[in-house]
Amino acid sequence: MTNSSQVALLGLDRTEIAALVESAGEPAYRAQQLLEAVYRQRVDSIEQISTLPQQFRAGLAQKGVSIGLPAIEQRFVSQDGTVRYLIGFPDGQSVETVWMPEGDGGEAGDGSEAGDSASAAEPSLGRTGEDARPHTFWNAARGWDRATICISSQVGCAVDCQFCLTALLGVKRNLSAGEIVGQVCAVLKDQKVSPPEDRINLVFMGMGEPFLNYDNFMKAVRLLVQEVGVAESRMTVSTAGIVPRIHDFGEEPVRPKLAISLNASNDELRTRLMPLNRKWNLEKLLAAAGNFPLRHRERITFEYVLLNEVNDAPENAKEVAELLRRMRAKVNLIALNPGPGIDFSTPAAERVAAFQQVLIAAGIPTFVRRPRGRDIYAACGQLKRTVALATMPAP
């Protein structure tokens, strides 16, 4: 650690912070004070850590050590309560992070949503299941009983899915572990909430492909569990299907739940929609999913974006049912969220419902995700640093 190099505390784990404290000649208990300040109190600057002696604070600043809390550059607030944050880093790059009060009616990551308890025997529980749930923890003052934060893992994305706006950016760079955790800390601070007292779910479903930034993503997960205080059972990561990393992920002692973006019912279609299918086709992907070591009562979520008249026919649903036949799976259907430059259209609600019914009849719990924040371009597949909303056609 030289004077000139900038070191951010956010992103450092217990061992690394202990080493920093030791090298400064400070007593070991200062490490805990730093961890508390960074990850629980979420201070902006070292100056604010009043538990530390002034001399230590000045010494850290002199070494170029900062907190590294990223800046909220803009907020877009949807009619449905969703907030899309534009979060900026010192090098000028930025990502989007989405706050969704009350969850999204589909995968919430906390294992307690209706999505986990519904089955073929309860077909009526589809999309309205969440609303039917008793609001035991309802917080009247706030108007929500739980919230989900959707986190980005890369600036842009390299995967090139044909229906996704983020793909149009290409990938600019990976986010560091600190930048991934930093999004959560910045949003929690802005919303004035704290896990575990407040029920917060995290989904790694923002910009980027988490499994192409695997080590930083996993370090962020561990920091979120150990230091920020979000249980692993309240987190879900979604991958476009990076097969070797699915194997690695299964071996992690601490890990979020797994979601896989399926999006097509056969190889020909999937290669057209998701070119990465050439490298990791359905056979390889489903073999990895089938071998994935699931925890008690855990299922793999398969996401399926419905594109009108492209992949949304009942025959496609039958093919999906066949693919997932022997799998402990559930399916989240997402009707396409449109965007400029995306050459697909959104199916009508009846087509979505018909698709859902085929899967439910085949015994696969299937849910339709309620779009969140479509009016502010915050919904799935719409994250693209859309600063000038006025230049975009109305969704």
Nearest distance, CB of residue 29 and ligand SAH, angstroms: 40
Q: Does residue number 380 form part of the binding site for ligand SAH (CB under 6 A)?
A: yes
Q: Does residue number 171 form part of the binding site for ligand SAH (CB under 6 A)?
A: no
Nearest distance, CB of residue 163 and ligand SAH, angstroms: 5
Q: Are 9 and 17 in contact (CB under 8 A)?
A: yes
Q: Annotated binding residues for [4Fe-4S] cluster, as ranges?
A: 157, 161, 164
Q: Does residue number 183 form part of the binding site for ligand SAH (CB under 6 A)?
A: no
Distance CA 223, CA 246 (A): 21
- DSSP SS3 for 302: strand
Q: Are 244 and 211 in contact (CB under 8 A)?
A: no
From 199, 225, 166, 179, select the one nearest 68 (Cα to Cα).
179
Q: Does residue number 264 form part of the binding site for ligand SAH (CB under 6 A)?
A: no
Q: Does residue number 238 form part of the binding site for ligand SAH (CB under 6 A)?
A: yes
Which residues lie closer than 8 Å to 236 by C-beta, 6 or more apart?
Answer: 107, 108, 109, 201, 202, 203, 204, 205, 256, 257, 258, 259, 301
- Interface stretch with ligand SAH, choices 66-74, 120-128, 157-165, 247-255 (CB under 6 A): 157-165
User: Which position's Cβ is nearest ligand SAH?
Assistant: 381
Distance of CA 6 to the CA centre of its chain: 28
Nearest distance, CB of residue 168 and ligand SAH, angstroms: 11
Q: Does residue number 239 form part of the binding site for ligand SAH (CB under 6 A)?
A: yes
Phi–psi pair at 67, nearest 5 degrees = -75, -45
Q: Does residue number 112 form part of the binding site for ligand SAH (CB under 6 A)?
A: no
312, 381, 384, 386: which one binds ligand SAH (CB under 6 A): 381
Q: Does residue number 96 form part of the binding site for ligand SAH (CB under 6 A)?
A: no
Q: Does residue number 303 form part of the binding site for ligand SAH (CB under 6 A)?
A: yes
Residues annotated as catalytic are: 96, 380
Beta bridge partners of 306: 335
Distance CA 79, CA 328 (A): 36
For ligand SAH, the closer of residues 37 and 333 by Cβ is 333
Q: Annotated binding residues for S-adenosyl-L-methionine, as ranges?
A: 208-209, 238, 261-263, 337
Q: Does residue number 98 form part of the binding site for ligand SAH (CB under 6 A)?
A: no
Nearest distance, CB of residue 184 and ligand SAH, angstroms: 16
Q: Does residue number 164 form part of the binding site for ligand SAH (CB under 6 A)?
A: yes
Query: How many residues in the shown chain lie near ligand SAH by CB under 6 A?
Result: 19
From 359, 360, 300, select the one nearest 330 (Cα to Cα).
300
Phi–psi pair at 88, nearest 5 degrees = -110, 150
- For residue 262, CA distances in Å to 154, 155, 245 come to 20, 23, 16
Q: Which residues bind ligand SAH (CB under 6 A)?
A: 159, 161, 163-164, 205, 209, 238-240, 261, 263, 303, 305, 334, 336-337, 342, 380-381
